[in-house]
Amino acid sequence: MGSGIRTASYGAQESEPGHWDYIVIGAGSSGCVMAEKLSADGKSRVLVLEAGGEDNFWNRLPKGVAKLVKDPRKIWLYQVTQPRETGSDAAEFWIRGKGVGGSSSVNGMIWSRGEPADYDAWESRHGATGWNAGSMTQALNALEDHADGAGRFSGSGGPVHVDPQVHSHPLAARMIEAGAALGLRPVRDLNAQTGPRVGLYSHNIKRGLRQSAAGTFLAPARHRPNVEVITGAAVQRVVVADGRASAVDASISGRSRRFSCAGEIILCTGALETPLLLQRSGIGDGASLHRAGVAPLIALPDVGRHMSEHLSLSMPYRLRGSGAAQLGVHRSLTGTGKYLAMLRWATRRDGIMATGPFEVGAFDNVHHADGRVDAQYYLGAYSFAVGSDNDPVPLDRIDPRPGLTILGSLLRLTSKGSLHITGPDAGDAPVIEPNFLATQHDQESAVALVRRMRRFVHAPPLGRHVGTEEVPGRAVASDADILAAFRRLSSCGLHATGTCRMGSDAASVVDPRLRVRGLERLRIVDCSVIPGHVTGNTNAPAMALAWRAAQLVLDDRP
């Protein structure tokens, strides 16, 4: 093996018959939107290849998220290779949704649109021509069927039902008042405003059921005669011939199959998998590919670089005082209360089981000098059994005692991470280096966030109910101690972006029409192309990105 290049162990290749105009790889938030939009006029044949399986009951029950995030059939587990502290073990795992709907089928269902200034920066700072507040607002509005109707930042009649008031509880009003006491603007709909604000989260939940990308977009599309969806099809690599993407090799039930494409191949495998899939296909940094035993075909060194994440710390508190037991939702999430809550959901499709992990949310500025939002809070009226890993939301370990959780996320970190393959096979574990808290700015932001969360929970009228802080604990008080605790106990925000960033510069991985540079007929449409910050959750932006991208693809149809 003098060249150092290993041949991936795909076994014998069987060619699949079929003449596809588009092959969409990955049926997640963006992939399902692409499949629906590209097939809608019936003129193109669309094949969707998804590594995971079909939805089940737990995907549809909103609180089913507790089971899903522990089920290896429903999630991908990516082991982070870089330890949080020098000398400690690398023990962190990142999860992503697996199966139709992708991460939208296992996520917290918080519908968060990001801020218009985020999208304007994609265009003005990152060269993503055409991607700005105007075009993304248009796409987001088109997606929505908002319970309050159409507005400047809401749509009506679209496929995704958005409800700004899914579920409330006795502590929620006090949480919102505490945020207001801190200077955050109390709002009915967190998406209708920008800037520091507090309110109930909007959710993509309809009549008590999760609205995943699979149910909303793929289900109607797959009944069309021009659409085929194959689940259990893990794509190993894109085949490049004569300067264009011509086919994909997928493993199905242990057999390797080749699917040829007459038109375009569209990667929608998410911000972690898409750069790895490109690298396995020989697209990336030449030296790094060579080290991994893959023959370099297209030199694109930024594949797998510039990874942004939202870094989060979950802080559980005990509730105190005589009325504490009535305030929290712990009784509906544990013991017999849980069964009663399930019964209520089964008969009325409402209550605590009909919502995600957190009801109350807020956006804040904790450190950036420009005053724009750089932090997000998630508040729940329960706490959980604390483990050494400080699992952010272990919904299977709810503490039966009254509690409260505030989870804070840093949204505009300046540290960038990377990921790359170590071998040619999909089974070769990648190297993942988030590089969290590498800059002074990010370190100061982490300390500011913890101090601000403490002020939040102790602000009136919430403060009088709040007792012991369980993580990191009141003894952690100096800046140095808070930073050390944050480094050790924080978790990724499940919002990775930027690993195949779009831009107008030659070093960007895709151009603003999302075409991979250096070859024809390969596009990327998922969170990996997002070039700048999203100051909020990433499901709605991923769907909006695909909504607009599908139109770009159709505009280029021969």
Ligand X SMILES: Cc1cc2nc3c(=O)[nH]c(=O)nc-3n(C[C@H](O)[C@H](O)[C@H](O)COP(=O)(O)OP(=O)(O)OC[C@H]3O[C@@H](n4cnc5c(N)ncnc54)[C@H](O)[C@@H]3O)c2cc1C
> How far is Cα 232 from Cα 372, in angstroms, rounded to an integer?
43
User: Minimum distance from CB of 368 to ligand X (Å)?
Assistant: 22
User: Minimum distance from CB of 348 to ligand X (Å)?
Assistant: 23
Residues 485-504 that bind ligand X (CB under 6 A): 494-495
Residues 272-301 that bind ligand X (CB under 6 A): 273, 277
**Strand-strand pairing, 360-364 and 197-200:** antiparallel
> Which of 25, 47, 139, 448 lies at the binding interface for ligand X (CB under 6 A)?
25
Find out whether 13 and 23 touch, Cβ atoms under 8 Å.
no
User: Minimum distance from CB of 208 to ligand X (Å)?
Assistant: 17
Please report, to the nearest 10 degrees, the dihedral formed by the alpha carbons of residues 486, 487, 490, 495 taken in order: 120
User: Minimum distance from CB of 478 to ligand X (Å)?
Assistant: 33
> How far is Cα 212 from Cα 159, in angstroms, rounded to an integer?
11
Find out whether 55 and 214 touch, Cβ atoms under 8 Å.
yes
User: Minimum distance from CB of 482 to ligand X (Å)?
Assistant: 26
Write each residue from 28 to 47 as x if it is in contact with ligand X (CB under 6 A), else as -, in one continuous string.
Answer: xxxx----------------
> How far is Cα 455 from Cα 449, in angstroms, rounded to an integer?
10
Residues 163-192 that bind ligand X (CB under 6 A): none
Q: Which is nearer to ligand X, 358 or 486 (CB)?
A: 358
Q: Which is nearer to ligand X, 431 or 484 (CB)?
A: 431
Contacting range for ligand X; rule: CB under 6 A; set: 119-127, 169-177, 306-314, 533-541: 533-541
> Which of 166, 235, 327, 329 lies at the binding interface for ligand X (CB under 6 A)?
235
Using CB under 6 A as the binding rule, whether residue 549 contacts ligand X is answered as no
Contacting range for ligand X; rule: CB under 6 A; set: 27-35, 118-126, 318-326, 452-460: 27-35
Q: Which is nearer to ligand X, 166 or 327 (CB)?
A: 166
Hunting for tokens 């199966």 — which residue is that? 99
> How far is Cα 109 from Cα 104, in angstroms, rounded to an integer?
7
Contacting range for ligand X; rule: CB under 6 A; set: 144-152, 309-317, 531-539, 547-555: 531-539
For 327-385, give the DSSP string. Answer: HSSHHHHSHHHHHHHHHHHHHHS-SGGGS-S-SEEEEE-SS-TT-S--EEEEEES--B-
Quick one: DSSP state of residue 435? -
Find out whether 256 and 49 touch, Cβ atoms under 8 Å.
no
User: Minimum distance from CB of 212 to ligand X (Å)?
Assistant: 9
Give the ranges where 85-192 is alpha helix by DSSP (H): 116-124, 133-143, 170-181
Using CB under 6 A as the binding rule, whether residue 50 contacts ligand X is answered as yes
Minimal CB distance residue for ligand X = 28
> Which of 8, 23, 24, 27 lies at the binding interface for ligand X (CB under 6 A)?
27
Using CB under 6 A as the binding rule, whether residue 395 contacts ligand X is answered as no
Find out whether 406 and 353 touch, Cβ atoms under 8 Å.
no
Using CB under 6 A as the binding rule, whether residue 51 contacts ligand X is answered as yes
Using CB under 6 A as the binding rule, whether residue 234 contacts ligand X is answered as yes
User: Minimum distance from CB of 101 to ligand X (Å)?
Assistant: 7
> How far is Cα 474 from Cα 453, in angstroms, rounded to an integer?
12
Query: By CB under 6 A, how many residues form the interface with ligand X?
Result: 43
Residues 69-88 that bind ligand X (CB under 6 A): 69
CA-to-CA separations, 6 to 1, 222, 252, 281, 434, in angstroms, rounded: 7, 38, 22, 13, 27
User: Minimum distance from CB of 49 to ligand X (Å)?
Assistant: 5
Contacting range for ligand X; rule: CB under 6 A; set: 3-11, 53-61, 94-102, 129-137: 94-102
Name 420's bridge partners. 431
Lookup: tokens for 284: 């990336």
> How far is Cα 498 from Cα 103, in angstroms, rounded to an integer?
17
Contacting range for ligand X; rule: CB under 6 A; set: 36-44, 238-246, 313-321, 535-543: 535-543
> How far is Cα 299 from Cα 48, in angstroms, rounded to an integer?
27
Using CB under 6 A as the binding rule, whether residue 268 contacts ligand X is answered as yes
3-state secondary structure 119-141: HHHHHHCCCCCCCCHHHHHHHHH
User: Minimum distance from CB of 456 to ligand X (Å)?
Assistant: 20
> Which of 311, 516, 527, 549 lies at the binding interface for ligand X (CB under 6 A)?
527
Distant-in-sequence, close-in-space partners of 396: CB < 8 Å, separation ≥ 6:
66, 67, 70
Q: Which is nearer to ligand X, 104 or 443 (CB)?
A: 104
Using CB under 6 A as the binding rule, whether residue 103 contacts ligand X is answered as yes
Residues near ligand X (CB under 6 A)? 25-31, 49-52, 69, 95-98, 102-104, 106-110, 112, 234-235, 268-271, 273, 277, 356, 494-495, 526-527, 537-540, 542
